[in-house]
Amino acid sequence: MENDPISRYRRFSRAVTRQVGALDQSFLGRGRPLGAARVLNAIGQGRCDVADIRTYLGLDSGLASRLLRSLEDEGLIETRTHPDDGRRRIAKLTATGRTEFNAYENLSDEAADRFLSDHPAPDALLEAMDLIATAMNRHAVAIERVDPTSGDARYGLERYYAELARRFEEGFDVSLSCDPEASDMVPPRGAFLVALSDGLPVGCVGLKGNGSTLGEVKRLWVAPDARGAGLGKRLMAAIEDEARALSMDTLRLDTNRALPEAYELYMRNGWTEIERFNDDPYPDFFFEKRLV
Amino acid sequence: MENDPISRYRRFSRAVTRQVGALDQSFLGRGRPLGAARVLNAIGQGRCDVADIRTYLGLDSGLASRLLRSLEDEGLIETRTHPDDGRRRIAKLTATGRTEFNAYENLSDEAADRFLSDHPAPDALLEAMDLIATAMNRHAVAIERVDPTSGDARYGLERYYAELARRFEEGFDVSLSCDPEASDMVPPRGAFLVALSDGLPVGCVGLKGNGSTLGEVKRLWVAPDARGAGLGKRLMAAIEDEARALSMDTLRLDTNRALPEAYELYMRNGWTEIERFNDDPYPDFFFEKRLV
DNA sequence: CCATTTATCTGACTTTAGTCTGATAAAATT
DNA sequence: AATTTTATCAGACTAAAGTCAGATAAATGG
């Protein structure tokens, strides 16, 4: 065989196609066509809006309607009209539907567990999977405002701190840095954003405020896997929007010489280098931007 | 989202399912149902035996027959009866069939290329893909006898030498080691085996002979991704079979202290440590095994 | 040589997926 | 208030996938 990139990609593609096919087969074992199973799964995942289900699964409206009807006849879901819009419909699992949904979930979970536990180095495998999934989702990264103490925020921050510790010559200990209070990064004082790639945090940024029109951008991080797609720029634009919404007119931030790509990002996006404005031991450079 | 192993696996699974689905969609663009396209692809890949195609694609005999007929009607394949067994049939691409097969190949290649060239670090991506594909194929590794100068053999040997260079304290330079002549690892003097995981070399082993009943096992290597599945043991058993087939009765080998897992493998599989029998600078341990 | 097995094929049939048209009713627009 | 748009649904239809029961002919095993 050739071992050029395309052959290697295609070998990967064959392997996962087989794996995906095997899972579909196991889904059929529950005596329901795949189409109906997919709709049930979409609803179980919390997609209740019928139009949403339709676009998510790429279904024709007639087909979607029939699949919903078949699930309803089985007693797995209930539909009712949307409270705000009488044309739209909402689907919800019944108790038996929940049970059946869980059965599908278990099939998926078991397939995952079987694969991972069969391997001597599951951590390496998972890192490879994250890398690939992030690459495949790279044009569908969603930025969401979350509480800085939420699981997703903490996950991002931990990876951020770990990376600083690796990259700073002097290491990094968050307790020595001026770690903002969580309450300063929650509206109405500030905000905290995470970038999610199909649920996995691949970036974050915080906005620390004190009630005045001056804000400070903190904790900008983009996961290594997700770099090169302009996510840093998107996060900065999003946090500036948050600042504007909080009536701020000036933002500041600091950064370290071990993070040249951050320095470049600020330079390219309207930030001006200014004098040191704090006595945090880590930063080497200080920036300001006036919002318009 | 949860970031436990199973959620991460399932996120990966969602991403590749989408990707695979998109490729299938592009296949449909050639105006042929997926089933027929799959059969055409199987034949193009060299699966000519109808029974083989059927089991490979998991098709009912009736369905397979009809799909073959439709491809034949399109003038893409020709079938004839097997020369050794009048019941079996052989399918072969016609010239137009070859063209059409290449068109599908191009669609796949383009999808691969689009994905890889869209990413800032395709090498990391490919390594991750190799890791995952090897893990998914781990129970389907084929051992084949090849010429030690073939591409697959050289690929394995290069990775083997690179690993020795990493692991030996003193480094490794193959020109300083007693590198066997390729002709000593080809029947009737010797043999060379590679382990292929869906085409990718993930292991190798050589048998160097001089026409006598004494042989030497050389270049045993198992790719890091493929370890932990007993492949080393399988390769050793296979090379012993080769030795027996060449009427050898005694095998020798040497190994280095930086490769403890190899030492353990030999100890567990009937090899006896003996005195140094060559003046190669690298090995620290010497083994012998009498074949029964 | 004869019974059995094996590989393939054919035709009838069912299920699943997907498309298209028109109906209905609610919302949005004029 | 009338018209248009939107979301859903139902029914008719087609295409594709899959199943099943023989039919056929070649190989195999006594």
Number of residues assigned to chain B: 292
> Which residues fall within 8 angstroms of residue A27, CB to CB, at 6 or more apart?
A34, A37, A104, A107
pLDDT at B115: 94
> Contact at 8 Å (CB) between B9 and A129?
yes
Q: Is the preceding peptide bond at B188 cis, omega within 30 degrees of 0?
A: yes
Residue of A nearest to B13 (CA): A20
pLDDT at A174: 82
pLDDT at A170: 87
With CB atoms and an 8 Å threshold, state whether B138 touches A130: no
Nearest nt to the CA of A69 via C1' is D9
Q: How many helices (DSSP H) and strands (DSSP E) are in chain B?
A: 9, 9
Residues from chain B that touch A131, judged by Cβ atoms under 8 A, are 124-125, 128
Distance CA A119, CA B160 (A): 22
pLDDT at B1: 59
User: C-alpha A62: how far from its chain's center?
Assistant: 32
Distance CA B166, CA B161 (A): 9
> Contact at 8 Å (CB) between B101 and B44?
yes
Read off the amino acid at residue A110.
E
Distance A91 CA to D12 C1' (A): 26
Q: Which two tokens stand for residue B3?
A: 């970031």
Burial (CB count <10 Å: 0-12, 13-18, 19+), residue A7: middle
CA distance B140 to chain A (A): 11
Distance CA A131, CA A226 (A): 8
Distance A85 CA to C30 C1' (A): 21
Give the SS3 label for residue B175: coil
pLDDT at A1: 59
Nearest nt to the CA of B51 via C1' is C7
* B137 → closest Cβ in A15, A133, A200: A15
* B119 → closest Cβ in A112, A121, A135: A135
Domains of chain B: 5-118 (1.10.10.10), 139-290 (3.40.630.30)
Q: For C16, which residue's CA is nearest its C1'?
A: A33
With CB atoms and an 8 Å threshold, state whether A16 touches B20: yes
Residues from chain A that touch B136, judged by Cβ atoms under 8 A, are 15-16, 18-19, 115
Residues from chain A that touch B9, judged by Cβ atoms under 8 A, are 112, 115-116, 126, 129
With CB atoms and an 8 Å threshold, state whether A136 touches B112: no
Residues from chain B that touch A113, judged by Cβ atoms under 8 A, are 5-6
> Contact at 8 Å (CB) between A203 and A192?
no
Nearest nt to the CA of B58 via C1' is D18
User: What is the DSSP annotation of chain A?
Assistant: ---SHHHHHHHHHHHHHHHHHHHHHHHHTTSS-HHHHHHHHHHHTT--BHHHHHHHHT--HHHHHHHHHHHHHTTSEEEEE-SS-TT-EEEEE-HHHHHHHHHHHHHHHHHHHHHHHTSS-HHHHHHHHHHHHHHHTTT-EEEEE--TTSHHHHHHHHHHHHHHHHHSTT---TTTS-PPPGGGGSTTT-EEEEEEETTEEEEEEEEEE-SSSEEEEEEEEE-GGGTTSSHHHHHHHHHHHHHHHTT--EEEEEE-TT-HHHHHHHHHTT-EEE---S--SS--EEEEEE--
Distance B57 CA to D28 C1' (A): 28
Nearest to A196 by CA among A154, A143, A239: A143
With CB atoms and an 8 Å threshold, state whether A12 touches B152: no
What tens-digit pLDDT sequence spans chain A (292 residues)? 578 999 999 999 999 999 999 999 999 999 999 999 999 999 999 999 999 999 999 999 999 999 999 999 999 999 999 999 999 999 999 999 999 999 999 999 999 999 999 999 999 999 999 999 999 999 999 999 999 999 999 999 999 999 999 999 888 988 877 777 888 999 999 999 999 999 999 999 999 999 999 999 999 999 999 999 999 999 999 999 999 999 999 999 999 999 999 999 999 999 999 999 999 889 999 999 999 8
Distance CA B80, CA B89 (A): 6
Nearest to A205 by CA among B12, A213, A215, A288: A215
B213-268 pLDDT tens trace = 999 999 999 999 999 999 999 999 999 999 999 999 999 999 999 999 999 999 99
Distance B243 CA to D28 C1' (A): 35
Query: Is the C-beta atom of A54 closer than 7 angstroms to strand D?
Result: yes
Distance CA B276, CA B32 (A): 65
pLDDT at B235: 98
Phi, psi of B74 (to 5 degrees): -75, -10
With CB atoms and an 8 Å threshold, state whether A13 touches B3: no
CA distance A6 to chain B (A): 6
Nearest nt to the CA of B62 via C1' is C9
B81 strand-pairing partners: B89
- Strands (E) in chain B, as ranges, are 77-82, 85-93, 141-145, 191-197, 200-209, 214-222, 250-255, 272-274, 285-290
Q: Which two tokens stand for residue B237?
A: 């058993």
Give the SS3 label for residue B218: strand
Nearest to B139 by CA among B64, B261, B228: B228
**CB burial readout A157-178, b (16+ within 10 A) else e:** bebbbebbeeeeeeebeeeebe
Least confident span in B101-110, B124-133, B179-188: B179-188
Q: Which two tokens stand for residue B39?
A: 């059969």
**CB burial readout B116-130, b (16+ within 10 A) else e:** beebeebebbbebbb
Residues from chain B that touch A124, judged by Cβ atoms under 8 A, are 131
B34-93 pLDDT tens trace = 999 999 999 999 999 999 999 999 999 999 999 999 999 999 999 999 999 999 999 999
With CB atoms and an 8 Å threshold, state whether B138 touches A131: no
